[in-house]
Chains A and B, each alone.
Chain A
Amino acid sequence: MDPFYTNELIPALNRGLVMSTMLIIPSAFFGLLGGILVGTFRVFGPKPIQRLFNAYTAIFRGVPLMVQLFILYYGLPNIGIYFEAYTAAVIGFILCSSAYNSEYIRGALLAIKSGQLQAASALGMSKTQALVWIIIPQAFRRALPGCGNEMIYLIKYSSLAYIVSCIELTGEARAIAAQSFRFTEAFTVVACYYLLLVSIATYLLKKVEKRLAIPGFGTK
């Protein structure tokens, strides 16, 4: 085999893969958690909090992620806030992912019949108890396909981390390509890496959906 692959490209991409994974996993997890919280506050929170989180969602869905990352990494130091490249990227991804996920959660919450909350209240549950034990578990199941889709996007937009100098898969591939001028090979192989990541994520999401499946909740 061409030593370009075995000695240069693959080792570099494997390094990038580790970094990408370290970006994706916490961003996906906290992005989902954040989405649930933001979505719930947007529907059931006190009015001022609803407005606050609506504004947050509008901003983070409305501004290109690349611009958000630039602001986090290059802009905030102007007001004395410094982040490592990795931290800036993860924060950017979590904020963006939460905004998108909150939209799926919000839709799912609105689709739940008011009778569920009434029945919970009639049994003496507080609003918080009703949300935690009755409403959110149902909404989460309904939002899961959408949130899963968001995770798949996240895997791909994690490649933007290289623009704040956090070198992950795409960053490593660019470096190797620029150095060796073998763009086609480098980016074809990196495409396979992403395809693999997305396939694994799709498989895991299917498993989770199966695990949470309940008669009457979509997935048959």
Chain B
Amino acid sequence: MTVPILFARDICVTIGSNEILKNVSLSLPKGSLKVLIGPSGAGKSTFLQTLNHLIPHDSGCLELNGKEINLNNKRELYAYRQQVGMIFQDFNLFDHLNALDNVAIALRKVKGVERQTAHNRAMQELKRVGLEDKATLYPAELSGGQKQRVAIARALAMDPTVLLLDEPTSALDPELIGEVLAVIRDLTRDGLTMVMATHQMDFARALAHEIVFMQDGEIIEQGSPEELLQEGTSSRTRDFCARLVTAIDDKR
């Protein structure tokens, strides 16, 4: 078996007396897209943030390309985070920088790339997400969908080996979801390794290599969309999705 690109082993997180993640393990083979689903409060966001150590875990370990990361070594941690890009639900673009500088700033200040080169690279990434004509606009001047695409360009500019996406479309108006999903779909085609928390079940069904169902801080089930979502199978995942669909239908 080939070594997974990213491997999280037995991650536990406790805040106060609250066990938020209980021995969660996840293995990401190269080029795979794993989709995290589960009810609100299941721990999806927390787990994604432990994967790049924005939230420290109490026990467990992270391995990149088979090598355990020493998270106490600041240098190693910062280098690791450059390899693991992250996309947030509410975009978190840097509000004082225009789209181009949002993408270029980490290239310049973290990777030490010279200004002009960084800008060229940033422009290339903006093109990739279809926003080269918005380069000089500030976050306040962009739509939600455009902001999220800039955020994706910003992460891609660092040449990450893995991309973590935490509900990248759930802060968006329905008509803007498509443009962001289209970009993510292109990334799967380019073979980028990704973990994504989402409620977009059609997207997950179509593109996920594996669906991971979480509840109460644990992984309850994982498997291919066919295994978990096929008519006639009785999986927790299928129950959850059925309820999700009814909930959406009720709203209409």
Contact = CB atoms under 8 A, between A and B. Distances in A.
The size class of the interface chain A forms with chain B is 20 to 34
B109 A133 contact: yes
B86 interface: yes
Contacts of A125: 78, 106, 109-110
Interface in A100-153: 113, 115-116, 118-126, 129, 133-134, 137-138, 141
A214 interface: yes
Interface string B128-171: 00000000011111000000000100110010000000000000
A64 interface: no
A215 B141 contact: yes
Contacts of A129: 109-110
B95 A216 contact: yes
A122 B109 contact: no
B105 interface: yes
A123 B154 contact: yes
Given A124-B106, A216-B138, A138 B158 contact: no
A217 interface: yes
A134 B94 contact: yes
B32 interface: no
B158 A123 contact: yes
B149 to A, nearest CB: 15
A122 B85 contact: yes
B252 interface: no
A165 to B, nearest CB: 45
Contact of A116 (B85, B95, B106): B95
Contacts of A126: 74, 78
A120 B94 CA distance: 8
B52 interface: yes
Given A214-B96, A216-B140, A118 B79 contact: no
B82 A124 contact: yes
B22 to A, nearest CB: 24
A116 B95 CA distance: 8
B42 to A, nearest CB: 20
B88 A118 contact: yes
B3 interface: no
Nearest to A125: B110
A138 B93 CA distance: 12
Contact of B106 (A123, A137, A138): A123
B182 interface: no
Interface in B105-133: 105-106, 109-110
B165 to A, nearest CB: 12
Contacts of B137: 215
Contacts of B199: none
B158 A119 contact: no
A133 B96 CA distance: 10
Contact of B105 (A115, A121, A133, A141): A133
Interface in A176-220: 214-217
Contact of A217 (B54, B92, B95): B95
A123 B82 contact: yes
B90 interface: yes
18 contacts: A118-B54, A119-B151, A123-B106, A123-B110, A124-B78, A124-B106, A125-B106, A125-B110, A126-B74, A134-B105, A138-B94, A138-B96, A214-B95, A215-B138, A215-B141, A216-B138, A217-B96, A217-B140
Q: Which 9 A-B pairs rank lowest in CB-CB distance, beginning with the nearest?
A: A216-B140, A124-B82, A119-B92, A115-B92, A123-B106, A122-B86, A124-B81, A215-B140, A215-B138
Interface of B: 52, 54, 74, 78-79, 81-82, 84-86, 88, 90, 92-96, 105-106, 109-110, 137-141, 151, 154-155, 158
